[in-house]
């Protein structure tokens, strides 16, 4: 989390250590992530505000979405999908022979 001094606007900052990115062979993946966030515009994707680097780290700065992690939001807000219509009757049919024996 970072805040712009002039406007006090909040941003999310992803910090990646260069040595770790290189060691894990993720250079191409990080470059692709930066490029995709730059090019794609969709309501469900974070907007990349800017990116930069220093001697040790890479930084991706995106809009800030407060209220917890996506994982917590999904667990709290998203209802589980109902089972397919054929699942329940099929289960009952499969159980009938066992009950008859």
Indicate the domain borders of the chain: 2-100
Percentage of residues in the chain with pLDDT exceeding 70? 79
> Band of the pLDDT at 71, cuts 50, 70, 90?
confident
Query: What CATH code is assigned to 2-100?
Result: 3.30.200.20
| Least confident piece of the model among 47-51, 76-80, 95-99 | 95-99
- For residue 85, is pLDDT > 70? no
- The answer to whether 22 and 56 are in contact (CB under 8 A) is no
Answer with the residue of higher pLDDT: 56 or 72: 56
Cβ atoms < 10 Å from Cβ of 15: 10
The predicted model scores a pTM of 0.65
Position 39 confidence tier, pLDDT thresholds 50, 70, 90: very high
What is the reported pLDDT for 2? Answer: 85
Distance from C-alpha of 89 to C-alpha of 81, rounded to nearest angstrom: 17
């Amino acid at each position: 989390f970072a805040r712009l001094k002039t406007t006090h606007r909040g941003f999310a900052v992803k910090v990646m250590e260069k040595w770790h990115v290189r060691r894990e062979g993720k250079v191409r993946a990080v470059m692709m992530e930066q490029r995709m966030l730059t090019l794609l515009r969709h309501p469900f994707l974070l907007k990349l505000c800017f990116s930069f680097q220093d001697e040790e780290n890479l930084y991706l700065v995106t809009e800030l979405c407060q209220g917890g992690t996506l994982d917590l939001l999904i667990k709290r807000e998203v209802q589980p999908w109902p089972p397919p219509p054929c699942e329940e009757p099929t289960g009952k049919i499969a159980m009938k022979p066992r009950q008859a024996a």
